[in-house]
Amino acid sequence: MRTTTDHPTATMTAVVADRYGPPDVLQATRLPVPVPGPQDVVISVRTVAVTRAETAFRAADPAFARLASGLLRPRRRVLGGTLVGVVTTVGVDAAPWRVGDRVVARTGLAMGGYAERVRVPAGNVVALPDDVTDDDAVAVVEGGLTALPFVRDHVRARPGMRVLVNGAAGAVGASVVQLATHLGAAVTGVCGPAHAGLVADLGAVDVVDRSRTPLERLTGSYDVVLDAVGTSSPRACRHLLTERGSYLTTVPSVGVLVRTATRRWERGRTAAVAFTGLRPAPDQRADMQVLVGMLRDGHVRAVVDRSYPLAEAAAAHVYVETGRKAGSVLLHP
């Protein structure tokens, strides 16, 4: 039997976008509280991340975002894919969850988190320990779900390895710096002057101020250059790589996609993009559990830039689109 604390005709505040466009297409409105399928839970959202992918979906920029979110208008009116909240309704087949459980969740491409309630498949949910805060859990999971598979599976970070991280203060970059350091690699972080202290605190052994030393002028020899924000290219970083070094990026370009498919670049070097944020739900759930455990045990920390009330989602999108945020930007319904 389905258990719930929500009234069957209850409504909720949600932020919707009915067309593609600038941040002010995001409008607060009232919608019916979602009803879960048999294997879903409904969560009362307490905090939800505003991500670069979501600003791209809202703006349909780059244009291929329309392939995932609707050719003419957004198929998913409510954005928001990484959130923490409390379970209010449990589908008939959504064990082991119970009403009142505090959880972190990924909605997948269904989104829906910019709202007071969201429906999530039960398999996309992980329980939170009491000593982990809502905001910290969302921030660590937002960057970490992309960064952990990069660092563990693609970089294979280990002691003795030298890793250069471009975009080291962003949500993904800040997580890469911490996770690669935790696994024993010596990390050099590239960021602007405002974020140098943060990147050093996250564990980087060296910090490069990109306003003084662009990557083209940087010297050094790295086993891996990981571009977390996609502002460089294999060519611009070639001189920084060892003879068997790898260039990895989170952001596709035609050149990198070709090199990823052919697994070749030049001599022993490789260049590749990975879409680690789009892995199957069971893999993401396992990694959410790893990340929550690392947060609880003090092996990673959350980086939260700022938070907004849900009704100010448009202002949050304006800020995220500046490309200047450090770590995560959050909404509080």
Question: Which residues of this chain interact with ligand NAP, rule CB under 6 A?
Answer: 51-53, 146, 166-167, 169-173, 191-192, 194-195, 210, 228-231, 250-251, 275-278, 323-326
Minimal distance in Å, beta carbon 262 to ligand NAP? 19
Query: Which one, 157 or 326, has the nearer CB to ligand NAP?
Result: 326
Minimal distance in Å, beta carbon 214 to ligand NAP? 9
> Which DSSP string do the residues of 225-290 spell out, in sequence order?
EEESS--S-HHHHGGGEEEEEEEEESS--HHHHHHHHHT-SBTTBEEEE--GGG--HHHHHHHHHH
Residue nearest to ligand NAP (CB): 170
DSSP 8-state code for residue 184: T
Kindly give the pairing relationship between strand 222-227 and strand 102-106. Answer: unpaired
Amino acid at 51: T
- Burial of residue 2 (CB within 10 Å: 0-12, 13-18, 19+) is middle
Minimal distance in Å, beta carbon 191 to ligand NAP? 4
Amino acid at 2: R
Query: Which one, 13 or 231, has the nearer CB to ligand NAP?
Result: 231
Going by C-alpha positions, the residue among 89, 111, 70, 128 that lies closest to residue 293 is 128
Query: Given the structure tokens 């505003």, which residue do they identify?
Result: 50
- Burial of residue 187 (CB within 10 Å: 0-12, 13-18, 19+) is buried
Both tokens of 247, joined, read: 């260039």
CB distance 228 to 202 below 8 Å: no
CB distance 250 to 165 below 8 Å: no
Minimal distance in Å, beta carbon 11 to ligand NAP? 32
Minimal distance in Å, beta carbon 75 to ligand NAP? 19
Minimal distance in Å, beta carbon 200 to ligand NAP? 12
Minimal distance in Å, beta carbon 305 to ligand NAP? 8
Query: Which one, 173 or 234, has the nearer CB to ligand NAP?
Result: 173
Query: Which one, 12 or 229, has the nearer CB to ligand NAP?
Result: 229
